[in-house]
Amino acid sequence: MLILVAGGSGSGKSEFAENMAASAIGRLIYVATMKPWGEEGIKRIEKHRKQREGKGFETIERCTDIGSLDAEGTVLLEDLGNLAANEMFEGDTKRVFDGILELNKKCSDLIIVTDNVFEDGNIYDGDTERYIEFMGMLNCRIAAEADRVYEVIFGIPALIYSGEGKK
């Protein structure tokens, strides 16, 4: 099953996704995609480590090429935005979507945390605009493949799409 969990920064999407994954039976894998840049990045990583403490996750640090992971069980990918930025920096944007499809074939459940990238209303140029467009495209393509899509607002998850049994 492929599940996409979207939300703005600080919305509670990560905690919701972690609790959903932790309720599964069997092996739990947390794929951490964030490169620890600066003090703020390190604080964010620590926050997420504490949040999932005691939930039974095996953590795999993987900033690129997630399709090559050997992952059986329930996989929580945290998060798509970091993975997309890392792959853009390395110049292989095609690998993101293809990697997600490949990873989804290998595990029983894949839960992906992603950002709502169009909510701030600002106009950007250059690399930032290309990143936002890329994330928008990825979110749409993954949502089209997903069995369920949630949006988390103010810590409240809402199921916005359920296509379970569509295959």
Look up the CATH number of the domain holding residue 146: 3.40.50.300
Q: What pTM does this model have? A: 0.89
Kindly calculate the radius of gyration of the chain based on its CA atoms and give it in whole angstroms: 15
Q: Is residue 37 part of a domain?
A: yes
Q: Which two tokens stand for residue 134?
A: 């890329």
Looking at the 3D structure of the chain, how many domains does it have? 1
| pLDDT band with cut points at 50, 70 and 90 for residue 159 | very high
Q: Which structural domain range is residue 115 located in?
A: 2-162
Q: How far is CA 75 from CA 20, 43, 112, 113, 158, in A?
A: 11, 23, 8, 11, 21
Q: What is the pLDDT of residues 81-119, one digit of tens each?
A: 999 999 998 877 889 999 999 999 999 999 999 998 877
Q: Is residue 167 part of a domain?
A: no
